Chains A and B, each alone.
Chain A
Amino acid sequence: MTCGNASAGGCREGTMIVLLIGMVWLAVGLTSCGGGTSDNPPPAAQETVAGIDANGDGVRDDIEAYIDTIYPPPAQGDINRALRQFAHAAQATMIDASEPAPSVTHAAERFRALECVMARRPGDFHLIFVELRARVLNTPARSVAYLRADDHVRSGNLALLPADQWVGACL
């Protein structure tokens, strides 16, 4: 192992970490040998990109249920609303993924939602996002639609709000 400018202590620490990672990698591999994860595939009716949104609020029912279970209102009302804002924008993103102009608009909407999430949970927003997005993109069709929409934003950059204005991005 090379440590460059790192101290000798840092090198030893790094070696220990590499060993630790090896153990984790093995554990991950064993899990994969078990036939993958136990994530249940959604019922056939939910496998369309849009899925089921019985109350018509622009957020899939399974995503609403997830958000309300993990971040129940009113105790976690702020982050609950922020995640619904993202889920709403992500749903529109997937549905309009073949259209360039709406894709750019929805990307900006997602940015505002993510700025709201960062304002509400600045210490752990990324893990919260990763867990939610993994559920939003729970089928190959939804994953592909999400990525196709991103492809429409390749020609330009979207404006970012400065951190002191993130709260203002919350709807």
Chain B
Amino acid sequence: MTRTGMRLAWTLAWIMAAWSADSAHAQIAPQPACLNAAAPRTAIFFVNGVTTTLDEARLNAGKLELEFLNRLPTMSPAVQANCHVFSLNYNPTAGEVNDFLEATQQQLGITPTSFWLELEGLGLFTPSLIRDALQGPMTDLNRIDTATIERHAATYREQIASPSCRRVLVVPHSQGNLYTNAAYDLVFGQPPSPPVGALRIVGIATPAQTIQGNGLYRTSTTDVLINAIRLIRPATLLSNTNWGVSPLLLSRSYSGGHSFIGYLSADPSRAQILSDIESSLTALAAVNPC
């Protein structure tokens, strides 16, 4: 196939993906419960993964909020009675992204522009690049940053404790699952321990072997990065969702099947993640945080 042909194909895929991802968000209204100062508050945190820059993390949290707001009118009354406050617990990954950038330039000889276009794409999730740049951060618990875990745990404890008295739901993506599991252990491993169940997790594209607190998770069968991690660490949680026949998988920006935006744009993964979030929030609503 000629380069022009490839570009046309990618453009077509791009347009199809954009069309597919489009949804009716013409007017973003405030959550009804947030208009009531006395309504209970629930904090929803997004925690990013290793290939995610700060800007990407902001957009991922925004996508989570948009999809949640779309689904909220059909969620249970217990969930609708809460005001949900979205936040970002950033997992700094600039060093790892830089390593990945250098590795792609050395191994594939691509331009920076192509790197940024394909950061979550199949073209970069090659076995050698995963081995050289991503395997360590995604699997080695000794390489996750203690200061970041402590900061995340402190944030959750502060949200749960008085005067905030908020329930906390954490939605981590990719390597963010490792940080969230470790932060969960820290929250409940030090006195005073918050009420059991005041912190729940819904993991996305997880390289972990468990979700703390009996949390829920979704990993796609088409997630090339997690599938590669599972070859190295067979105890990695099994795939339990997919992106259907989504044009996103033909887009150079999403073809690796690992993008958080992709998980929340394609079905059934999107619907299943939102169902997991709803059931977790329903369980949280039954807990008195303080």
A17 at the interface (CB under 8 A from B): yes
Tell whether, in the assembled complex, residue A118 and residue B109 are in contact, meaning their CB atoms are under 8 Å apart: no
Contact partner of A119 (CB less than 8 A), chosen from B28, B92, B123, is B28
Contact flag A157-B62 (CB < 8 Å), given A2-B239, A13-B244: no
B residues in contact with A1, CB < 8 Å: 221, 239
In chain B, positions 115-172 with a C-beta closer than 8 Å to chain A are 115-117, 119, 121-123, 148, 151, 155
B224 to chain A: closest residue by CB: A21
B residues in contact with A36, CB < 8 Å: 108-111, 114
B4 to chain A: closest residue by CB: A38
A interface footprint on B176-217 (CB within 8 Å = 1, 0 otherwise): 000000000000000000000000000000000000000000
B255 to chain A: closest residue by CB: A24
Tell whether, in the assembled complex, residue B221 and residue A3 are in contact, meaning their CB atoms are under 8 Å apart: yes
Q: Which of B95, B238, B242 has the most CB of A within 10 A?
A: B242
Tell whether, in the assembled complex, residue B222 and residue A14 are in contact, meaning their CB atoms are under 8 Å apart: yes
In chain A, positions 123-171 with a C-beta closer than 8 Å to chain B are 123-127, 129-131, 133-135, 137-140, 142-144, 146-148, 150-151, 153-158, 160, 162-164, 166-167
Complex A-B, nearest 10 residue pairs according to Cβ-Cβ distance, in ascending order: A123-B22, A4-B240, A14-B221, A122-B25, A154-B92, A134-B116, A28-B123, A4-B238, A150-B94, A124-B18
Selected A-B contacts with CB under 8 Å, 24 pairs: A4-B238, A6-B221, A10-B221, A10-B268, A25-B123, A28-B123, A28-B252, A30-B1, A32-B123, A37-B113, A41-B111, A110-B55, A118-B62, A119-B28, A123-B18, A127-B21, A133-B55, A134-B115, A135-B113, A138-B112, A140-B112, A150-B94, A157-B90, A162-B65
Query: B-contacting residues of A (Cβ < 8 Å)?
Result: 1-6, 10-11, 13-14, 16-18, 20-21, 24-25, 27-32, 34-39, 41, 107, 110-111, 114-115, 118-119, 122-127, 129-131, 133-135, 137-140, 142-144, 146-148, 150-151, 153-158, 160, 162-164, 166-167
- If A3-B240, A10-B221 are given as contacts, then 16 extra A-B residue pairs at C-beta distance below 8 Å, sorted by A number, are A2-B239, A14-B221, A17-B242, A17-B245, A18-B222, A32-B123, A126-B59, A127-B251, A127-B253, A129-B59, A130-B116, A134-B115, A151-B94, A157-B90, A162-B65, A163-B28
